[in-house]
Structure 1
Amino acid sequence: MDVLFIVPSMSPYLLQECRGSLELAQILKSNGVSVDLLRYWQADLDLDCFSKLVTNIAKKVDSFNPRIVSFYCRCDVYHVILSVAQTIKKRHPEIVILLGGPQAEISARETLKAFPFIDYICCGEGETTIFPLISSILSGHPNLSVDGLTYINENGVVVQNKLPNLICDNYKMGFACYQLIPHTVITNSSQAVIEVGRGCPFNCSFCSSKTFWKRSFRLRNIDDIIDEVQYIYKIYGIKSIRFEHDIFTADKKRIRAFCEKLIEKKISISWRCSSRADTVDEDTIILMQKAGLKGIFFGVETGSERMQSIIQKNLNIEKTKEIINFCVNLGVKVNASFMYGFPQETEEDFSDTLNLICDLIDMGVQRVQAHLVDFLQGTELYEQYKDQLIFNGRVSNLATQFGILRCNYIQENPQIFAAFFDYPSELRLILDYIEPFLRCYIRFHNNMRKIRAYLGGDTMIMYKRYREMVININEGGEENVKLVPNKKYDYIENDKEIIKKFYSIFNISKNVFDINANQKT
């Protein structure tokens, strides 16, 4: 085999497929290059042992006998990728190792210096460069002038070529790459992911997307999207779609044209997308729902107007609540995402965020996410605080803790693995139980809402008392209420006891307490 693409797909579902790697593989295949993809789940995965996971993936490569191995790299699994690549190189020094994807691009120079077993890193969008590069390597005469290529020359100097031009707006992709997806993945899946565009025009200080996509907002050709929707329904019977784009709704005129065409063609699908609250209005949401919209993701990040300005998100909080409430009342399922632990954030700022989160839950938002802020290369946040980051094993739930303590090179290379580093602040420590608190608030919503109302809406007081109780439990202070073993930040087995303690602490009448009434699950 000529080229094997290795992608971090952990389970056999379409939602886990890596569309970018599929597209590049299809380009090579159409030009006569023999290709295949290896997904993590196709190896004998052992998620209890990092070294076995790495070894098993590397061993699986043997059955393909590739000349070139290419990895798609995300920051959350970059340590896994590099460990697998190193193992492959030790077993088969003749195999050429390529890296691509956002994390490889954003740390290309540093990665090549620190990990000499990597031969090349491909930066930028690869549709126009993948075949010229691969064909030249296969011929035995690598073309080192290919746009986007980063490598170490014969003098030991890192060379980074200019990036390739971004693909144009209104681009077409087609969908021949479905032929490269295992039949098992198709039959297991009731929902598909379809790329509908690239790039975000906004400038949030914590987000690396603007760096990777150069803030170049593009939408895929509407007819090309609809052709793919019809194809996967006709061939595979799938009519539930997640449209993949950071902000599908940034161009209101085109999202309306897309919805009108779905309606005109009488295409009956259910779909979800990501949006930004200030890029939609009530009329647009109504049209989107008429065209099949079932769920929408809003990145809100913070409930503090001050922090909205500092992180350059610049959402109006009240207008955001209004559009989310409108969606909920219309029957559109909302997923609202927040971040906490910004270096500039105060307890008062986070109190605003926590109150907003609980306001949204109270109004019927189906899902709320809260993530500890991480510091990604390519962001203003990283550049401002990179010298203050420490490695202590504490990571955002956007990353993974799996194997990071076994990889010494993570601590030695903060400029590559910043996502696994922490910013030391008192607020971040105080908020260490915010995720289980929110799960408890949702799980026992009726009772938690009553307690919150009794406290005049001061959710921060509730959280602090919750944290005190859980710390007491962790230290063995309570025998009848225990955390799930080995999951300090996860569910509490007996949440009912926690709720009862809330009522006792705040001296709320027991006749208000009804643990079984209309609880959310």
Structure 2
Amino acid sequence: MKVTLVNPPYPPSVHSHPPFIPLGIAYLGAVAEKEGHEVTVIDCQAEKLNYEAFRERINRTPSDVVGVTATTLLYKSSMKLINIAKQAHPEAVTMLGGSHATFWDENALNEYPSLDIVVRREGEITFAELLDKLQTNASLKSVLGITFRNKEGKIVRNEDRPFLEDLDSLPFPAHHLLPLDALKRMGKVLFPLITSRGCVFWCDFCSTVRMFGRGYRWRSPKNVVDEMEMIHNKYGVNQFTFYDDAFTVNRERAIKICEELHARKLDLIWDCGTRVDMVDRELLKTMHDAGCIAVWLGVESGSEIILDAMNKGIKLDQTRQAYKIAHEVGLMTIANVVIGFPGETEETAKATINFVKELNPDDVGFYVATPYPGTPMYEQVINNGWLRVTDFDKYDTAGPTFETPWLTMEQLAKIRYKAYQDFYLRLGYVLKMMRRGGTYGISAVKTSAAYALRAMHIKLS
């Protein structure tokens, strides 16, 4: 079958982030090719294709199946592409996958008659089975993990598919299907890997447990480094980023990955994300010696009241210790912070801003708490009648979508802007990042300059 996989563009009203490799699509493409199907990938983000440009492309792309991925932010954009694809190829089967589709499956099918099938949760095995059934015109009743519109127009929701336990059995992502030249930043492509799936924590703002299961499944160290070595040899790449929610959840495995990199004498650099309660000096030193240059550590809040409300399961002293050790062993640190979670006040937000400055990370992301479908926070916001923005195009974590008895949307927007100003407009920070240079240093200095110019404009006006 001729299979077309699509990475949708950002909504026109949203600032477009630099393009990155759509790893989920690359995995699906690899699975489909392994089963003998002809696969084409259209990456609207990397190729800067708007809806009309996509229409022109899909019109000249023979397609029996068109699959589009969707986060909440990209949902409406994805569905516009589904509509366009169905107009171009009325007989093609249209599919939607991804985190938003998983928790919005029946809604999506009801809202968009041009959509035929939703693939829920992780999709590789489901997708391969679907293609087999469609190729032979077989019934979809037995395909686990899908919601679909049957021949009578009725929406049918099959049972969930059990999670794949042997992640080593998956083929490596099909990077050759992607427009790699268009994905370059500063002349290089940053290749992502994901080495584990699932989580054992229940952070209320996150859908990982509901999407990938409560518990961890991981690839073997050999399989992980095999992929890195293959990419290095094939594409001349020496920098990677791990997309795992918590790379160090299995401490022994993380160390073995480092040992495998040493054993093969691969001169590679990489970064990863993890929890502050899942690192120690020996582990971070081992990672640094194996090429790790930066760690993304979830700070989330500088208030233990808010951390408890989030069900984060960490204490401020654990965060302090993790950042202290990371700096001492020579790792750059990037802080992930959520502001505006239900219960947040101006006082707790101020405590968070001050806490981040105390930690002194090399970079920071202040993300507005956003009620994504599939998260406990979504249910909390809906049940309390706090939701004010229903347009998913606005769910970009940059602007508020709900307000609580403790904070208005206007207050929260001002807090976020002040948080960035307070962090980036510190002379000591700017000088430190100028001395550091490199991708992280240059990016941080540019951000500081942007906030300085914005502050000057506000004062002059």
Question: So what's the TM-score if we normalise by structure 2?
Answer: 0.85
- Counterparts in 2 of 1:116 and 1:29: CA distance versus 1, 3 Å: same
Q: CA deviation at 1:97?
A: 0.8
Q: Is the 8 A contact 1:372 1:396 kept in 2?
A: no
What is the CA distance between 1:213 and its match in structure 2? 0.7
- Please state if 1:118 is matched with 2:115: yes
Given the alignment of the two structures, is residue 444 of structure 1 paired with residue 425 of structure 2, yes or no?
A: yes
Q: 2:55 aligns with which of 53, 58, 65?
A: 58
Residue 6 of structure 2 aligns with an amino acid whose one-letter code is I
2:194–2:243 CA contact under 8 A, matched in 1: yes
- Which stretch shows the higher mean deviation, 195-204 or 491-500? 491-500
* Matching of residues 97-246 of structure 1 within 5 Å: 97-154=94-151, 156-169=153-166, 171-175=168-172, 177-182=174-179, 184-185=181-182, 188-246=187-245
What TM-score does the superposition give when structure 1 sets the normalisation length? Answer: 0.76
Between the aligned partners of 1:84 and 1:2, the Cα distance in structure 2 is 17
The aligned residue for residue 431 of structure 1 is: 412
Aligned with 2:364 (options 365, 368, 387): 368
CA contact (8 A) 1:5 1:21 kept: yes
Q: Kindly state the Cα deviation for residue 322 of structure 1 after the two structures are TM-superposed.
A: 1.7
The residue aligned with 1:78 is 75
Name the % identity: 24
2:396 is aligned to 398
- For the residues of structure 1 that align with 2:34 and 2:393, how far apart are their CA atoms? 42
- Asked if the contact 2:199–2:208 (Cα under 8 Å) also holds between the matched residues in 1, the reply is yes
Deviation at 1:202, TM superposition (A): 0.9
**Structure 1 unaligned blocks of 5 or more:** 46-52, 402-419, 450-489, 501-521
Alignment-derived partner of residue 345 in structure 1 = 344
1:230 Cα offset (Å): 1.2
Quick one: which of 36, 42, 49 aligns to 1:38?
42
Q: Are the counterparts in 2 of residues 172 and 224 from structure 1 also a CA contact under 8 Å?
A: no
Q: Distance in 2 between matches of 1:26 and 1:14?
A: 24
| Residue 33 (structure 2) pairs with residue 29 (structure 1) | yes
Q: For residue 251 of structure 1, what is the aligned residue in structure 2? A: 250
- Equivalents in 2 of 1:15, 1:90: separation in Å? 27
Q: Which amino acid aligns with 1:398?
A: D
Q: Give the Cα separation in 2 of the matches to 1:366 and 1:397.
A: 26
Q: Cα deviation per residue 1:41-82 (whole Å; 9 max; x = unaligned)? A: 46663xxxxxxx223212211111212110111111111011
Q: Secondary structure at the match of 1:137?
A: helix
CA–CA separation in structure 2 for the residues paired with 1:113 and 1:305: 42
CA distance in 1, matches of 2:393, 2:89: 34
For the residue of structure 2 that corresponds to 1:17, the secondary structure is coil
- Return the letter of the residue paired with 1:373: A
Cα drift, residue 399 of structure 1: 4.8
Partner AA of 1:300 in structure 2: V
| Aligned-pair CA distance for 1:150 | 0.7
Corresponding residue for 1:422?
A: 402
Cα 1:155/1:191, change in 2 over 3 Å: closer
CA distance in 2, matches of 1:392, 1:112: 18
Residue 217 of structure 1: how far off its partner (Å):
1.2
The change in CA–CA distance for 1:303 and 1:239 in structure 2 (over 3 A counts) is same
Deviates more, 1:254-263 or 1:307-316: 254-263
Query: How do 1:13-28 and structure 2 match up within 5 A?
Result: 16-28=20-32
Aligned to 1:417: none
After superposition, the Cα gap between the structure-2 partners of 1:286 and 1:121, relative to the gap in structure 1 and judged at 3 Å, is same
Please state how far the C-alpha of 1:307 moved relative to its aligned partner. Answer: 1.1
Contact 1:394/1:421, CA 8 A, preserved across alignment: no
Cα distance, 1:115 vs structure 2? 1.5
**Could you say which structure has the larger radius of gyration?**
1
- For residues 121 and 397 of structure 1, the distance between their equivalents in structure 2, rounded to whole angstroms, comes to 21
Partner of 1:6: 6
Distance change in 2, residues 1:25/1:325 (3 Å): same
8 A contact 2:122–2:211 mirrored in 1? no
Within 5 Å, which residues of 2 pair with 1:293-332?
A: 293-332=292-331
CA-CA distance at 1:255 after TM superposition: 1.1
Q: Return the alpha-carbon distance in structure 2 between the equivalents of residues 316 and 238 of structure 1.
A: 38
| Cα distance, 1:154 vs structure 2 | 4.8
Q: Is the 8 A contact 1:372 1:397 kept in 2?
A: no
2:136 and 2:246 map into 1 onto residues whose CA distance is 41
Separation in structure 1 between the aligned mates of residue 344 and residue 39 of structure 2, nearest angstrom? 48
SS in 2 for 1:313: coil
Tell me, in whole angstroms, the C-alpha distance in 1 between the residues paired with 2:210 and 2:63: 32
Q: Gaps spanning 5+ residues in structure 2: where?
A: 11-16, 431-449
| Aligned equivalent of 1:460 | none
Distance 1:372 1:186, change over 3 A: closer
Q: 1:394 to 1:90 in 2, by over 3 A?
A: closer
1:130 Cα deviation (Å)?
1.8
Distance in 2, matches of 1:273 and 1:112, equals 36
Contact 1:24 1:130 in 2 (8 A): yes
CA–CA distance in structure 2, aligned partners of residues 496 and 344 of structure 1: 33
In structure 2, the CA distance between the partners of 1:77 and 1:348, relative to structure 1 (3 Å rule), is same
Q: Secondary structure at the match of 2:174?
A: helix
Kindly report structure 1 stretches of 4+ aligned residues shifted beyond 4 Å.
41-44, 185-188, 392-397, 496-500
- SS of structure 2 residue aligned to 1:493: helix
Alpha-carbon contact 1:371-1:396 (below 8 Å) kept: no
Match for 2:2: what amino acid?
Answer: D
Deviates more, 1:294-303 or 1:93-102: 93-102
Q: Paired residue for 2:14?
A: none
1:385 match: 381
Contact 1:14–1:192 (CA under 8 A) maintained in structure 2: no
1:493 aligns with 2:453: yes
Displacement of 1:7 in angstroms is 1.3
Structure 2 CA distance for aligned equivalents of residues 34 and 79 of structure 1? 27
Equivalents in 2 of 1:21, 1:448: separation in Å?
38
Q: Secondary structure at the match of 1:76?
A: coil
Cα distance change of structure 1 residues 94 and 494 upon mapping to structure 2, 3 Å threshold: closer
Which residue does the alignment assign to 1:508? none
Query: What's the CA shift for 1:109?
Result: 1.3
Change (3 A) 1:369 1:212: same
Contact persistence 2:288–2:331 (CA under 8 A): yes
Q: Would you say how many aligned residue pairs link Structure 1 and Structure 2?
A: 432
